[in-house]
Structure 1
Amino acid sequence: MKADIFRKMPVENLMSHNQEGKGLKKVLGAFELTMLGIGAIIGTGIFVLTGVAAADYAGPALVLSFIISGLACAFAALCYAELSAMIPISGSAYTFGYVGLGEIWGWIIGWDLILEYCVAVAAVSIGWSGYMVNILNIVGIHLPTAIIAAPGSGGIINLPAILILALIAGLLLLGAKESAKLNNILVAIKIAVVLLFIILGFSHVEPANWHPFMPYGWSGVFSGAAIVFFAYIGFDAVSTAAEEVKNPQKDLPKGIIGSLIICTVLYIVVSAILTGMVPYLEFKDNAAPVAYALAKVGISWGSALVSVGAICGITSVVLVMMYGSTRLFYALSRDGLLPKGFSQVSKTRGTPNKSIVLVFIATALVAGFLPIGKVAELTNMGTLAAFVIVSLSVILLRKSRPDLNRPFKVPFVPVVPMLAVVFCLFLILQLPTFTKVAFLIWIAIGFVVYAFYGYKHSSLNGTKAEKVD
């Protein structure tokens, strides 16, 4: 058994799934992929997280925190670009880990990503609920607490969170093309709102507010980088769409790297303007720093502006993260590590309907009845662990399978992938102890599931797998 758990999925096996007429329908191009990436990356992070990180961790040096997190993501993004162009198959880091490191590592990261995506979807839908309830309150519609909060938060059920999840699940059932069209519209609106804030805020920047620039020292900058890393989570969701891309070899690297560059630039500019408009300490315990900054300088309609941007931003994050999680279940199921039923594809829409329904039920139960609290921090931990696996896979596959066609190549291997590993491990160390312990418990449960189901039902049983190097 020891050797079997490290067996590697041959790339040729995976590519056979990607033939026309088999698997998922190919409907996406470079533009849709870039918009998917921006849709997943820019959400509450830019509207909420910036103020908290500035007040509690980095001060005006939040700009440096975003640059450090952006660098960590850039190294990882290059690795994702190489692997997704080489292996344009659903599953993201799970698939890359299966091919590069072996079945048990692929399963661990796949199990880890299940938690990451589902918790992120549930947490973001609760955020959507909060913004929507706030907007309804402004227009005079007051919903009873019983239907807008989970039992642990004074209510019975968070109905708005479940409703947005149901709407997104319904859209995903219609098909990837329809989902991408809505995402394009939502992303266009929220980018317009962010650019408008930059234009409005630029003329109200007071350089004096940037002093002291680094009030909490470098430790604050690094802690801030670990916190704002949450704002970058999502570009890996682009690689989950690999199997539905018309020209994956060219378009996947463009979508992954392009979306990360655009979002990094926007984050840096917004954080610089925000801390320049208002002294950073005023953002302490402020859940709407962008709206607060606009109101502070006399732009009273800023709150409404930000609410529109936030609703569109959060909706697109729910859409892309739920989309990514359904494709992950599809890939795990197709490889036999989860029940095969979840890899069944609709003949008319080309969508994994059972995976979509499963993700909806799981996320609706969490969002509707549980207060997320610290569990949301697991999203950071899961993503960082995935980045480490992907980066190591690039190095190992360069040695074990130099024959494979690589339309996009990471420069300076193994230096760049190792830098990604070092950056990500460093950021993991900055996370709270609770997060690390909870992550280990989830992984332990994953080992049990693999031992009693995945190992026995793996599609590699009785077939030729690549041996461990």
Structure 2
Amino acid sequence: MGISETAPSTPPAPPSRAGRPGLRREVGFIGLIWASEGSIIGSGWLFGAQGALGVAGPAAIISWGIGGIAILILALVHAELGGMYPVSGGTARFPHYAFGGAAGASFGWFSWLQAATVAPIEVLAMITYGQHYSWANGWLKTQGGQHVLTASGIIVAVLLMAVITAINFLSIRLLARTNSVATWWKVGVPLLTIFVFAIAQFHGSNFTAANGFDPYGAKGILSAVSTSGIIFALLGFEQADQLAGESANPKRDIPRAVIGSIVIGVIIYILLQVVFLAALPASQIQGTWATAAFNTLTGPFAQVATLISLGWLATILYLDAVISPGGTGLIYITGASRVSYGLSRNGYVPSAFESTNRRGVPWAGLVVAFVIGCICFLPFPSWRSLVGLITSASVLMYAGAPLSFGVFRRRLPDTERPYRLPGGRWMSPLAFVVANFLILWSGWTTDWKLGIAILIGYVVLIANRVFKMNPIQPQLDLRAAQWLPVYLIGMGLIVYASDFGPLKHPWFPLWWDMVAVAVFSLGIYYWALAVALPTAKIQRMVDQVVAPEESTLH
């Protein structure tokens, strides 16, 4: 999985002082690219090749290329923003500066939702690969072509979530110290797998086996981008952006690190897709790609390694299926608690989320993240079903960056930009369109559940304000966020009426649905730019937060 190993964060309460001391710009190109690469190569590789092959056939290789281009477009927009305002959790904070409190609270909630759902998907990855052991056989069952949790599996999943939560209470410092070692392991195991699979068994005929190279056409290729784990695996590029304030040469190194990490990640993932496909024995690919036996494998790479007599590699992969997902889950459940802590500090959610224990751990946020993570096992009992939700939530969070980019280019044209994106005027709206394409390709089955989660968030935000559960009452700036409900509802309606929706005869057939999304996205983009906060207010909010935060990095 490509989600960052660095816990996400969200806006702190405005500090009392605002200076602009210089940062220690000591992070070089290698440090930047490694930060992003360690995030991009993660536990998603354990299932991504299998899932994409089942959805798109061997044409999944094309899906990985499309996913890489989409992520690169979004990443380049983030590169300029990260250089301008090198603050932690910038992805969720830029909309707050551009559009005020209502947008800030909304994108903060999207950020929390993304962070809170990572731990359960990592638990699902551990349990799914754990089917290798006889004592774990009763934890999953096959339903609708997917491996879903049984009643006993849900109990085990809840217990694993409890362990992850408990460790976060006790030893987060130790976990942080092991991150560097874990990153080497996370990148090294996929590279080893590629090398060994390539020389051990490579059947070129597999690329046209079953029902052909491209059996499901464009819809299969595009669906695989969002629903099989491709975008999910490629997330995490923003880590280089987050280090912009400490980069020795941000203008040169940040774009190179962002582009380089994504290109390297895409190459590794494409090679993983190729060797997984080429190594499959003929018995695993009879019939169609969607129904072939390899889809039933609970530990795809490890089981294929066993089938081709690479038992030693299978042992390493089963070990990796605990280390990589477990480490990511540990980081992200505490990350979710930090997001809720920050939202509380800004007055958006009840002040109870600021409660910390004697170690300074925000325990209330941890408990809520644990509960929500466990609830996720009910509507999303399989790895593949939950990956769509996380992809959509992540992309929705990322979608705020192109909008903020456009506002800052228009309102703050003279602000220093260590890296200035060439062609930013057209790259920014393009990035917003691409983000919404990814939401479209996730499909109605995923997006309506995301919509419910968003509504729950708004109920919490409104209740907090109505019942004054937090003494801080932030200014909402509703005029600057007037486009937001239209955007969320409009995207939902387009997905419903599209070829990726539930209708037997969609209003927007394939390709026309993408035209509809593009036109709608551009309308929202320029509407948002027109009603954004005035320059003076944006600058005032930035000065309240960015300069003091930079001083903590000095």
Query: What TM-score, normalized to structure 2?
Result: 0.68
Mapped pair 1:194 → 2:202: no
Instruction: State how far apart, in whole Å, the 2-side matches of 1:69 and 1:168 are.
Output: 33
Aligned CA distance change for structure 1 residues 438 and 54 (closer, same or farther; 3 Å): same
Q: Tell me, yes or no, if structure 1 residue 232 matches structure 2 residue 228.
A: no
- Aligned partners of 1:144 and 1:290: how far apart in 2? 21
Distance in 2, matches of 1:69 and 1:81, equals 18
Q: Contact 1:240/1:324 (CA < 8 Å) preserved in 2?
A: no
Name the residue aligned to 1:361.
367
Per the alignment, residue 23 of structure 1 pairs with none
For residue 203 of structure 2, the aligned residue among 206, 216, 221 is 206
Q: 1:447 aligns with which of 458, 469, 474?
A: 458
Instruction: State how far apart, in whole Å, the 2-side matches of 1:362 and 1:125 are.
Output: 17
Q: Name the CA shift for 1:19/1:361 in 2 (closer, same or farther; >3 Å).
A: farther
Could you tell me which of 102, 105, 108 is aligned with 2:103?
Answer: 105
- In 1, the alpha carbon distance for the partners of 2:72 and 2:350 equals 35
Q: Deviations over 1:1-34 (max 9, x none)?
A: xxxxxxxxx99x68957978xxxxx999876665
Q: 1:235: Cα distance to partner? A: 0.9
Q: TM-score, normalised by structure 1?
A: 0.79
The answer on 1:285 being equivalent to 2:296 is yes
Whole-Å separation in 2 of the counterparts to 1:424 and 1:39: 23
| 1:403-422 to 2 correspondences below 5 Å | 403-422=414-433
> What does the per-residue CA deviation read over 1:278-331, in whole Å, with 9 as the maximum and x for residues that have no partner?
265452222322123323332233321211222222123224433543443343
Q: 2:179 aligns with which of 161, 177, 183?
A: 183
Distance 1:59 1:461 in 2: 47
SS in 2 for 1:221: helix
Q: Alpha carbons of 1:160 and 1:328: their partners in 2 closer, same or farther (altered >3 Å)?
A: closer
Please give the alpha-carbon distance, in whole angstroms, between the structure 1 residues aligned to 2:327 and 2:261. 14
Q: Is the 8 A contact 2:71 2:235 kept in 1?
A: no
Deviates more, 1:66-75 or 1:433-442: 433-442
How far apart are 1:99 and its partner, in Å? 1.2
Measure, in 2, the Cα distance between the counterparts of 1:16 and 1:191: 41
| Letter paired with 2:40 | I
2:262 alignment partner in structure 1: 260
Shift of 1:72: 0.9
**1:322 to 1:161, Cα distance in 2 relative to 1, 3 A:** closer
Q: Does 1:378 align with 2:389?
A: yes
Mapped partners of 1:256, 1:327: distance in 2: 25
* SS class of match (1:426): helix
Secondary structure in 1 aligned to 2:424?
A: coil
Aligned to 2:167: 167
Gap change, CA 1:403 and 1:330, over 3 Å in 2: farther
- Greater Cα offset, 109-118 or 252-261: 252-261
Structure 2: which 5+ runs fail to align? 1-10, 140-147, 481-531, 536-554
**C-alpha displacement at 1:156, in angstroms?**
4.2
1:406 counterpart SS class: coil
Paired position in structure 2 for 1:215? 215
Counterpart Cα distance in 1 of 2:103 and 2:124: 32
C-alpha change, 1:259 and 1:88, in structure 2 (3 Å) is: same
Q: Does 1:269 align with 2:287?
A: no
- What is the aligned length? 436
The superposition leaves residues 216-262 of structure 1 with CA deviations (integer Å, 9 ceiling, x where unpaired) of 2222111111223343354166379669x755983876765554333
Instruction: Tell me, yes or no, if the aligned pair for 1:381 and 1:439 is still in contact at 8 Å.
Output: yes
Query: Are the equivalent residues in 1 in contact too, given 2:45–2:233 (CA < 8 A)?
Result: no
Q: How does 1:29-44 map to 2 (within 5 A)?
A: 34-35=33-34, 37-44=36-43
Q: 1:92 Cα shift? A: 3.0
- Greater shift in the superposed pair: 113-122 or 65-74: 113-122
**1:411-469 CA deviation, whole Å, 9 max, x = no partner?**
2112222222222212211223232222222222333333343597345589xx99457
In the superposition, relative to structure 1, how do residues 127 and 170 fare at CA in structure 2: closer, same or farther (>3 Å)? farther
Contact map agreement 2:395 2:439 (CA 8 A) in 1: yes
Task: Assess if the C-alpha contact under 8 Å between 2:95 and 2:400 holds in 1.
Answer: yes
**Distance in 2, Cα, partners of 1:144 & 1:297:** 26
Q: Deviation at 1:187?
A: 1.8
* Contact preservation (8 Å) 2:399, 2:435: yes
Q: Structure 1, residues 49-74: CA drift from partner, whole Å, max 9, x if none?
A: 2112202x211111111111111111
Say if 1:291 and 1:107 are closer, same or farther in 2 by CA, change over 3 A. same
Query: Aligned AA for 1:75?
Result: I
Name which of 55, 58, 61 aligns with 1:60: 58
Task: Supply the distance in 2 between the matched residues of 1:18 and 1:321 (Cα, whole angstroms).
Answer: 32
SS in 2 for 1:414: helix
Can you give the 5+ residue segments of structure 1 that lack an aligned partner in the other structure? Answer: 1-9, 21-25
